[in-house]
């Protein structure tokens, strides 16, 4: 049976992705309510994996930076500091629910090569089996412009595929995807995208969406379609609606999964998405 949005409360395994703008700076106050929603799903028995951006943005104030650095070395330094702080904030919020976080940092090469890919899968499977909540991010400290995911929407889709998740939730700054940028006249929210539906008539935003992170509607569509092609239903919605999303409420944009997903390789999917990154803006590590 093809999973539906309403099936999210009973999903066996869910990957949730949150962006930098939702958990860094003043938005760090969003971490406790985000964790509360994840803890509720965890308490229902769902295995939850969180893919969280925000390391670079979180580290910026500690390096006395007022804007996201443009050179790779400073991005890496900010990520090294910020990742530590970010995980501390998540664990502090999870302590109330008796949940332990496990940090998993990945590069594109880790998922491209068989041995590290197998190691990553085994580690996450074991963490989930121990009821640990894995928090995944791109390993920005060693990332390069040439070998990277480019944004964590792609990373989340690949992680969902790696661990055979039942659903993927991509959190954004808007409640749903729109047929055109939502500030344009006539833009309409998209409730559902059928598997294989032609989206050529829709206009999705650019890659760079704010001063602290990378991503945008276009990358969410790309990631959602990759996950859906692998049989993983995907919901795109606003970060503060995560509780309602995991309860199966009719919010956001739902990408219906392929009812007969092929047994294709993760390496092939990564290659396709790498081509998409190369064709984009050349954005720096996801952070």
53 among annotated binding-site residues: yes
17 among annotated binding-site residues: yes
67 among annotated binding-site residues: no
Strand order through the sheet with 13-18: 101-106, 133-138, 47-52, 13-18, 167-172, 233-238, 253-255, 192-193
220 among annotated binding-site residues: no
172 among annotated binding-site residues: yes
26 among annotated binding-site residues: no
Task: Report residue 263 as tokens.
Answer: 């047994």
Q: Binding site residues for ATP, as ranges? A: 17, 172-173
Q: Binding site residues, as ranges? A: 17, 53, 140, 152, 172-173
Q: Binding site residues for substrate, as ranges? A: 53, 140, 152
């Amino acid at each position: 049976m093809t999973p539906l949005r309403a099936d999210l409360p009973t999903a066996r395994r869910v990957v949730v992705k949150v962006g930098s703008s939702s958990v860094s700076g003043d938005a760090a106050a969003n971490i406790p309510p985000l964790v509360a929603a994840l803890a509720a799903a965890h308490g229902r028995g769902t295995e939850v994996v969180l893919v969280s951006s925000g390391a670079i943005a979180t580290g910026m104030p500690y390096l006395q930076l007022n804007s996201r650095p443009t050179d790779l070395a400073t991005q890496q330094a900010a990520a090294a500091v910020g990742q530590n702080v970010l995980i501390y904030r998540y664990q502090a919020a999870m302590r109330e629910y008796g949940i332990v976080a496990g940090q998993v940092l990945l590069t594109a090469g880790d998922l491209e090569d068989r041995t590290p890919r197998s190691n990553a899968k085994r580690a996450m499977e074991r963490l989930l089996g121990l009821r640990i909540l894995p928090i995944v991010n791109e390993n920005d400290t060693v990332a390069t412009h040439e070998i990277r995911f480019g944004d964590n929407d792609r990373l989340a889709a690949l992680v969902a595929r790696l661990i055979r998740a039942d659903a993927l939730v991509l959190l954004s700054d808007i409640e749903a995807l729109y047929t055109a940028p939502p500030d344009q006249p006539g833009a309409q929210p998209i409730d559902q995208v059928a598997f294989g539906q032609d989206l050529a008539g829709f206009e999705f935003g650019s890659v760079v969406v704010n001063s602290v992170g990378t991503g945008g509607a276009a990358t969410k569509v790309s990631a959602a379609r990759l996950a859906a092609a692998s049989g993983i239903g995907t919901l795109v919605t606003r970060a503060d609606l995560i509780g309602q999303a995991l309860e199966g409420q009719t919010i956001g944009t739902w990408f219906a999964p392929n009812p007969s997903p092929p047994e294709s390789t993760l390496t092939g999917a990564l290659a396709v998405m790498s081509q998409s990154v190369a064709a984009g803006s050349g954005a720096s590590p996801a952070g």
